[in-house]
Amino acid sequence: MNSETRTKIYKLAASLIILSVLFLFFQFTKTKKNNAAQKGDDNIENIQAPLAIPEPVFNNKSESEKVIPSAIPIFMYHYIREYSDSNDPIGENLSVSPEKFEEHLTWLKDNGYQTVFPNFFKNPEPLSFKPIILTFDDGYQDAYDNAFPLLQKYQMAGMFYLIIDKIGTPGYLTWDEISEMQKAGMSFGSHTLTHPDLKNLSPANLEREIKGSKEILGQKLGQEITDFCYPSGKHDEKVLKELQTDNYQTAVTTDLGISSLRDNPFLLKRLRIKDSTNIKAILDK
Ligand SMILES: [Zn+2]
């Protein structure tokens, strides 16, 4: 290699080094500028990063027996009464005898179930037992006469969805009975004022049925009402929106199934319980 070639190589190497240094310097200033320009975005990223929700820990020593359930069955009852009338197949279909109801409670207790309320879907926590939600639609008189004493006997609690305008009328619960049940740990939700088809209401009437019923029930019971039950299960986007506007937390449908804790808490599925239902079979499914 002669000296001329060597000089050429040196020059080439020197230029490469200078170019690299210039390139790195340029990159550095560019990054700095971008950072300055995106400071707002960066701040959001920095705030969001720690919010990543950790996986629930089930093997924590102090909570060794407790697990957050993945789904909760919700039983749907209407009447708890002895009833047989061939002219009223619907009424018969909606009735479970007190004896059968007591069998259900005994079976649930013997198999490790305890009652929780629909708000568990909004605020889940680790449990040491199998959870179940018992719901009673419409607020019939037998909720106090038959369901309530049996629930107390087995240390269980029910969620009763009340039709506000029916309260105190023949065949329905009175405010005094509701108050007594509330003091004993029973829970109450709105089933509207008049049990209309919510899909066919003017915006004003929809608000009256959903917000108005929440206000009346809340005032009477001295607590915020956050749980709702769609009359005949009927709902649409407008109905869901009104519930959210009025700060409800959950709503049960008449759709058949068991809702997972990941499901929309305004579309909770239920298991329709009849006098002939084998509850072991439906829970084992
Ligand atoms: Zn109803």
Does residue 154 contact residue 106 with C-beta atoms inside 8 Å? yes
Which CATH fold topology does 72-284 show? TIM Barrel (3.20.20)
CA–centroid distance, 29 to ligand 1, in Å, is 68
* Ligand 1 geometric centre to CA of 86 (Å): 21
Residue 229 CA, ligand 1 centroid: distance in Å: 8
The tokens 């909720």 sit on which residue?
143
Q: How far is the CA of 65 from the centre of ligand 1 (A)?
A: 38
Give the position of tokens 């490469």.
Answer: 16
Phi and psi at residue 113, in whole multiples of 5°?
-90, 145
**How many whole angstroms from 281 Cα to the centroid of ligand 1?**
25
CA of 188 to the centre of ligand 1 (A): 14
Ligand 1 center to 225 CA (angstroms): 17
Amino acid residing at 179: S
- Residue 77 CB burial class (10 angstroms; 0-12, 13-18, ≥19): buried
Q: Do 80 and 142 form a contact (C-beta atoms < 8 A)?
A: yes
pLDDT of residue 48: 39
Ligand 1 center to 283 CA (angstroms): 24
**Cα–Cα dist 10/117, whole Å:** 81
Q: Ligand 1 centroid vs 90 CA: distance in angstroms?
A: 13
What single-letter DSSP state applies at residue 101? H
* Cα of 13 from ligand 1 centre, angstroms: 86
Span from the CA of 161 to the centroid of ligand 1 (angstroms): 8
Q: How far is the CA of 39 from the centre of ligand 1 (A)?
A: 54
CA of 141 to the centre of ligand 1 (A): 14
Q: How far does the centroid of ligand 1 lie from the alpha carbon of residue 44, in Å? A: 46
- Domain boundaries along the sequence of the chain: 3-51, 72-284
Neighbouring C-beta atoms of residue 148, cutoff 10 Å: 22
The stretches in the chain having pLDDT less than 70 are 1-5, 7, 9, 12-64, 285
Q: Please report, as a single letter, which amino acid is at residue 42.
A: D
- pTM of structure: 0.78
- Tokens for 75, please give them: 């039983």
For residue 136, the CA-to-ligand 1 centroid distance in Å is 9
Distance in angstroms (rounded) separating the CA atoms of residues 44 and 49: 9
- Distance (angstroms) between ligand 1 centre and the Cα of 196 equals 9
CB–CB of 133/74 below 8 Å?
yes
Per-residue model confidence as pLDDT tens digits over 86-111: 899 999 999 999 999 999 999 999 99
CA of 192 to the centre of ligand 1 (A): 9
DSSP codes joined into one string, 146-209 = IIHHHHHHTT--EEEEE-GGGTTSTTB--HHHHHHHHHTT-EEEE--SS---GGG--HHHHHII
Ligand 1 center–CA 162 separation, angstroms: 8
**Which residue matches tokens 């029973």?**
186
Q: How far apart are CA 172 and CA 193, in angstroms?
A: 14
What distance in angstroms lies between residue 224's CA and the mean position of ligand 1's atoms?
21
Please tell me the predicted confidence (pLDDT) of residue 284: 81
Which residues, including other chains, have CB under 8 Å from residue 193's CB and lie 6 or more apart? 163, 164, 165, 208, 209, 212, 213, 216
Ligand 1 center to 43 CA (angstroms): 50
Residues 223, 176: Cα–Cα separation, whole Å: 16
Could you tell me if 107 and 279 are in contact, meaning their C-beta atoms sit under 8 angstroms apart?
A: yes
pLDDT in tens, 171-191: 999 999 999 999 999 999 999
CA of 36 to the centre of ligand 1 (A): 60
How do residues 14-28 score in pLDDT, each as one tens digit? 666 656 655 665 565
